[in-house]
Amino acid sequence: MLDIKWIKQHQDRVQRVADQKRIQVSIAELLEWDEQRRSLLAETEGLRETRNKLSQQIGMLARNGNTEQIERITQIKQQAKQVNESLLVNEGELAKAESRYEELMILVPNVVSADTPIGQSDIDNVELKRVGVPKVVDYSRKDHLELGELHDMIDIPRGVKAAGTRNYYLKGEGVLLHRAVQQLAIDLLTAKGFTLLEVPLMARPEALNHTGFFPLGEDQTYRIADENKWLIGTSEVPLVTYYSNEVVNVDEPIKLAAASVCFRSEVGSTGKDVHGLYRVHQFSKVEQVILCEADPDLSESILQEITSNAEHLLQLLELPYRVMAVCTGDMSQKTYKQYDIETWMPSRQAYGETHSSSNLHDFQSRRSNIRYRDASSSLKFCHTLNNTAVASPRILIPLLENHQQEDGSIRIPEALRPYMNGRERLYPKQI
């Protein structure tokens, strides 16, 4: 969340970003309720102070035991009764004002960086660079599902039979590839000083609120029946929550990573990118999360670093990709600046999103109450950042399609071979 004092000073800017991110919230109404709750709080505290003074007076007069004070005690008790009645009304109004204030405050979006493109959707994202050139071949390519069937490594029909639409089975070499790219990503991150965590796959609603995924992303999340818990859509949630309500040492940035299964309902994506393994309900992701000092230059350099980590993986996988600056209309509520990395997918004849990097500044840490002490020992909220090092099975789409050979075999990139028992190529199981 943003600091309410900062919101007051930048009301127009915050409202403009809310409109650009298509978040229905009135900053003017928020500030009205804030003013009202502050006024009611002052009145309520004044009434409580008056009540306490009257109670003290009654006690003193009663201890004196002077019969002449009885009438005075009666008067004060009547006065205290009137104060209590007023206090009861004020407390009710204060609770209402605080409730409405919190409802609006939780909807206020993070502002965006000066270099974030203005736009309505992913169509308006801006390409920053391309790396690698899609290979041109003189034979007919198969898509990843045809290759998966040919190699007996992907089974969609049985996935649907077991769990419904957008579910799948990986088999044999498909599982090995799935695990290989994750392990490659883990090894790259641990070599760069990341601490690897095994994280809970369930989260309390407050963890999702504090990390900025609720309330606006609740429809994308699976709730566990009869429990106040939800399945995570990214390990960013438990990684950030690991330090919630703590004062941390960020003399050196805290680097965390996790490889976890993730779950997303994908509400609203019917008919959009649902072919094969592109948009499924269950997937695995290796995530990077970094906490650092509240220094915009430092967190910007870290954003470049974690994006570079993801690029390095794609380069090792020998896949063409491009980096996109994400526009306001395609950003989430919590994001200050975002890059998407899109990898070339021959069957789509287009680049498809495979990675995302975000700088949140202190928006997430304010909600999660993660602070550090600066050089003057003052408490400040950290900046937090996150990046998808790799997500599978989506990465299998470009991996299989770009490395298929004319005979239907699939070349394994050199960096993956140690994780595939030294194999250089996968051969079809069917002729």
* Sheet order of strands, 246-248 included: 246-248, 370-373, 379-381
User: Is 353 one of the annotated active-site residues of the chain?
Assistant: yes
Beta-sheet strands, E only, within 98-245: 126-131, 154-155, 169-170, 195-197, 202-203, 230-231
| From 37, 166, 371, 394, active-site residue | 394
List phi, psi (to 5°) of 53.
-65, -40
User: Is 356 one of the annotated active-site residues of the chain?
Assistant: yes
CB 324 within 8 A of CB 273: no
| From 353, 365, 366, 367, active-site residue | 353
| From 37, 166, 264, 371, active-site residue | 264
User: Is 357 one of the annotated active-site residues of the chain?
Assistant: no
Query: Would you say how long the chain is, in residues?
Result: 431
The 8-class DSSP code of residue 369 comes to T
User: Is 179 one of the annotated active-site residues of the chain?
Assistant: no
Beta-carbon count within 10 A of 92 CB? 11
Decide: helix, strand or coil at residue 323. strand
| From 356, 358, 368, 392, active-site residue | 356
| From 100, 179, 279, 322, active-site residue | 279
Give the residues across from 385 on adjacent strands.
290, 359
**Rounded Cα gap, residues 306 and 137, in angstroms:** 33
Residue 248's H or E segment, with its range, is: strand 246-248
User: Is 279 one of the annotated active-site residues of the chain?
Assistant: yes
The catalytic site residues sit at 264, 279, 353, 356, 394
